[in-house]
Amino acid sequence: MDQTIPLLVLVGPTASGKTALALALSSHLTGTREMEVVSADSRQIYRLMDIATAKPTAGERARLPHHLLDVVWPDESYTLAQYQEDAQAAIAAIHGRGALPVLVGGTGLYVRAVVDGLAIPRVPPNPALRARLEAEAAAYGPATLVRQLAERDPVAAERIDSTNVRRIIRALEVCIESGRPFSEQQGARPTPYRTLMLGLNATRDLLYARADARVDAMLAAGLVEETRMLVERGYDWSLPSMSSLGYREIGMYLRGEMTLADAVERLKFNTHSYIRRQLTWFRPDARIHWLDAAQPPEALLAGALALARPWLAGESQGGVRS
């Protein structure tokens, strides 16, 4: 497929500064051409869940249009296939308006679904099967599901994070319902995108410190109150949305299972673990041009522009996909 749509991709772990860099690029990169962001964040899709998901503020969205935020309510399902379809449509619409689409986020599977055109199994959810597998995980731990997946699809069992119960259950669901390994039903397909992939990274200590500061800012912004509001509106703790970082830990405080201080400490610890998993996902991708997020903002922007300007200028010259 001809790679006719330029797609700038900005990835990196949480708290690395992706939104800030996207905003800076929008002011310096495109000149008379507009930029619009397509979010690649699996938690920012939920309405009412703003603080713990670190959604761009109203002011940031006014400066730079964002798509695929607030897509569904916290008790609605939203599959990877739905995200892929919506993201592809948003990118096509942005390009059709003459603007530059920028895919921004830290959910690696969302990024790959778009950039690599992942072939996603079209197996519909089986609520009864999922409930049974969730009960097994609750009773015996996620390891029992990992063993079941390894028997049916050792490749998928190796690839999927053993703590990501939802992904393990989905892989098992596809194996059981289709009779074929989940991993055999995935793979890349041609896309119409000419991509430049930029990644933000820094030392672990700096990323952890930024994440901790973000958690403190979330608390000051009303994370406890937002979590309480969600429960009061009837959103159950068992929902996948309510297992998101922040709501899960604050929920333990609200249910009286630990003090607020302990819940905050756990949230910071779990965020550090999430950062490590994000980096593990992105690092093997040789297409990503890594930038040092520890640089002063001006230097970081200059480094990004040094890569993005030649790439964008080569659009009409049939440039090479990075």
The CATH number of the domain where 49 resides is what?
A: 3.40.50.300
pLDDT at 87: 98
Q: Is 100:178 a contact under the CB 8 Å cutoff? A: no
Q: Are residues 92 and 194 in the same domain?
A: yes
pLDDT at 162: 83
**Confidence band for 32, pLDDT divided at 50, 70 and 90:** low
Position 197 in a domain: yes
Other Cβ atoms within 10 Å of 11 Cβ, number: 27
Position 293 in a domain: yes
Domain harbouring 154, CATH code: 1.10.20.140
100-105 vs 66-67, strand pairing mode: unpaired
Low-confidence winner among 3-7, 159-163, 175-179, 283-287 (lowest mean pLDDT): 159-163
pLDDT at 165: 87
Residue 47 has pLDDT above 90, yes or no: yes
Q: Are residues 82 and 212 in the same domain?
A: yes
Q: What tokens does 300 get?
A: 């970081």
Structurally, how many domains does the chain consist of? 2
Measure the CA–CA gap between 39 and 115, rounded to whole angstroms: 13
Position 322 in a domain: no
End-to-end CA gap in the chain: 16
| Residue appearing with tokens 């390994």 | 181
Q: Are residues 202 and 302 in the same domain?
A: yes
**Confidence band for 283, pLDDT divided at 50, 70 and 90:** very high
Mean pLDDT, the chain, rounded, equals 93
Question: What is the DSSP code (8-state) at residue 246?
Answer: T
Q: Is 125:17 a contact under the CB 8 Å cutoff? A: no
Question: What is the DSSP code (8-state) at residue 98?
Answer: T
In which element (H, E) is residue 312 found? helix 297-313
User: What is the model's pTM?
Assistant: 0.87
**Nearest residue to 320 (alpha-carbon basis) of 287, 283, 286, 282:** 287
Tell which of 143, 162, 185 closes a domain.
185
What range defines the domain where residue 160 resides?
127-185
- Taking the mean position of all CA atoms in its chain, how far away is CA 171? 19
Q: Are residues 249 and 141 in the same domain?
A: no
Q: Are residues 197 and 229 in the same domain?
A: yes
**Nearest residue to 7 (alpha-carbon basis) of 303, 287, 293:** 287
The residues, any chain, with a CB within 8 Å of residue 128's CB and separated by 6 or more, are none
Position 257 in a domain: yes
Q: Are residues 180 and 200 in the same domain?
A: no
Measure the CA–CA gap between 84 and 79, rounded to whole angstroms: 9
Position 94 in a domain: yes
Residue 137 has pLDDT above 80, yes or no: yes
How many residues are listed for the chain in this entry? 322
List alpha helices for 70-126, DSSP H.
80-96, 108-115
**Nearest residue to 275 (alpha-carbon basis) of 217, 193, 206, 175:** 206
Tell which of 142, 170, 185 closes a domain.
185
Q: Are residues 313 and 177 in the same domain?
A: no
Q: Are residues 139 and 79 in the same domain?
A: no
Q: What tokens does 181 get?
A: 């390994």
Q: What tokens does 286 get?
A: 């040789």
State the average pLDDT over residues 110-133. Answer: 91
pLDDT at 188: 80
Can you spell out the DSSP letters for 163-190? T-HHHHHHHHHHHHHHSS-GGGG-----
Tell which of 162, 185, 208 closes a domain.
185
Q: Are residues 243 and 297 in the same domain?
A: yes
| Residue appearing with tokens 């964040």 | 41
Q: Are residues 26 and 142 in the same domain?
A: no
Query: What is the signed CA dihedral for 201, 205, 208, 210, rounded to 10 degrees?
Result: -70
Residue 320 has pLDDT above 70, yes or no: no
Instruction: Report percent pLDDT > 90 for the chain.
Output: 81
The residues, any chain, with a CB within 8 Å of residue 243's CB and separated by 6 or more, are 166
Q: Are residues 16 and 146 in the same domain?
A: no
User: Which of left, alpha, beta for 9 (phi over 0: left; psi -120 to 50: alpha)?
Assistant: beta
The residues, any chain, with a CB within 8 Å of residue 75's CB and separated by 6 or more, are 234, 235, 236, 239, 241
Q: What type of residue sits at position 66?
A: H
Q: Are residues 178 and 206 in the same domain?
A: no
